[in-house]
Amino acid sequence: MHHTATNIAPTMARRISLAAWAMAAFGTVAGQLHALARINSHPEDLEYPLTRAWAMPAMDALRPLLDWSDPYFVYWTYGKIWLPVCVAFAAAAYLVYRRRQPKGAEKWAWRIQLAAYAILTLSVAGDYYTPWTAQFFGAGLVALALIALGGAVLGIMLVRSGFRPRTTAWLLILFLPLFFAITEVTSMGNALLPLMWGWALAAHQVAGVGEREPHPMSAPTMPTRG
């Protein structure tokens, strides 16, 4: 079957959807282990009451997983989990973008958001897979700012245009308040989890629609005169 430049083969769409779900689930669990390793190497994080409430008993229970090497090395090693997670949710967002075929201002909002996901993914790779942690961490902060501000704009556009699933659009809008709420309890990486689940949900809906059928996520088009 021939696929146009804006289409992704159904088999590939299903693979992206499955990877997005798998990595969101993996990140939800493994992300907390990384958070504990972060706290173990940065004890000042225990000054946050909500963090201390769950982290202290969890660290006692999982001590063998945290003390097998130098605390910072353990933290840096577990941080590697975020690269495949970020790749998966960025791919899921790209899949939805390609199927939606947005126009006008929404198209630019999508491009800014996808660029931010790409920068974030490169930042995570550099942060945990190279010695230049500080430099790549700075790039990640830029990406997070674009995700927070640009994502809110895109989310509002999606809500106004009737995008489904609406959950994904609202998670884009609420990224910043959720970011602050999550980082009060656990590590910064886990603040990405709402986005991961949101794009997994959207990719699942995309992958479930046949290519020959009109797609419910497509951006609305203005009627033309015959």
pLDDT tens, position by position, 72-96: 999 999 999 999 999 999 999 999 9
- How would residue 135 be classed by pLDDT, with cut points 50, 70 and 90? confident
Residue 108 has pLDDT above 50, yes or no: yes
Q: How far is CA 119 from the centre of its chain?
A: 12
State how far the Cα of 126 lies from the Cα of 137, in Å rounded to an integer. Answer: 8
Residue 222 has pLDDT above 70, yes or no: no
Q: How many CB atoms are closer than 10 A to CB 183? A: 17
pLDDT at 134: 85
pLDDT at 209: 60
Residues 6+ apart with CB under 8 A from 6: 98, 99, 101
Length of the chain: 226
Computed over every residue of the chain, the mean pLDDT equals 90
- How would residue 216 be classed by pLDDT, with cut points 50, 70 and 90? very low
Mean pLDDT over 189-210 rounds to 90
The vertex-147 CA angle with 7 and 109, nearest 5°, equals 50
- How would residue 2 be classed by pLDDT, with cut points 50, 70 and 90? very low
Residue 158 has pLDDT above 60, yes or no: yes
